[in-house]
Amino acid sequence: MALIKRVLLFFLSLVGIIVLLVGATTSYAQDNYEANTLEPNFRFYTIEWLNIADNEGRKYVCGTKVSTFDYSGRKYNIEYFYLLTSKDTIVTQFIVDAIQLSIDNPETRKMEELKIKLYASVLSKDGKDFLAGMRGNNDNDKSVGAEYTEFDREGNTKIFKDLYKGGFDLKVHHIPGAEVTIPIEVNTEYAKEKEQILENCIIDLINNQEHRIQSSISIDESIVSRVG
C-alpha cells in the first residue's frame, strides 16, 4: 500500500511539469485538443505459471506470467513470482515491461522487438489497487517493478492464482502523469486443478531452500574440521 501511494504522489508531482511542457511547445498556428475515444480493438492473452528449475532440477522460481498484445503490436508482460536467491532467501518480485512488436519479414514471420520505457505500473481489480511497481536505479532497464523480502506464502500465493484467473486492469505510465489502462480479461481456460502446478512448485522451492541451507552448513562444518 505504501508503494502504491508513492507511485500516485510521484505522478501527481509531475503533472504540472507535463502541463508546462505542453504549453511551451504550443504554437498559435496549431489547434490542440483532446478527446476520449473508443477505438475497435482485439486483444490476445497468454497466461502461464512460472515454474522454473535450477541446474539441479529443483525449483527456484514459482509464480504467474500474464502477457497481452493487440493489433498495434504493443505487448505487455506482467510477472509476479517467488525467487530463491543465491543467498538462499526467498523474495517476491513484481515486474512489468512493454515491447513494441513489428514483423521484419512477412514470409518468415520474423519479429523485431523494441523495449519501451515505463515509469510506473499498477494492478487494479474492482476499483482497488493491489500491486504497484516503479522504475529502479538502472537507466538501462526499461521495465518497472518491486521486490518484497517478506515471505507471505498465503497472501502472495493467492495473488498468483488471482492473476492466473484474469479479470483485472493493468495501469501503466509511458509518460509521467499519463495513465493508460489495459484490460486483462477473465481467463476462459482457467480450471481449479491447474493450480496444483503452482502448489507443487512452491513446495519444491521451499524444499530447495532447505536443501541449499543444509548443504551450506555441511560445507562449513567440513571446512572447520579440516582447519581444526
Tens digits of residue pLDDT in 44-92: 999 999 999 999 999 999 999 999 999 999 999 999 999 999 999 999 9
* Rounded distance between C-alpha atoms, residue 75 and residue 220, angstroms: 47
Beta strand residue intervals within the chain, DSSP E: 43-53, 59-70, 74-84, 90-105, 110-116, 120-125, 128-134, 144-148, 168-175, 178-184
C-alpha grid cell, residue 109: 514471420
Contact in structure between 116 and 99 (CB atoms under 8 Å): yes
pTM for the model stands at 0.81
pLDDT digit string, tens, across residues 199-227: 999 999 999 999 999 987 654 444 444 44
174-207 pLDDT, tens digit per residue, is 999 899 999 999 999 999 999 999 999 999 999 9
Domain ranges for the chain: 2-18+40-213
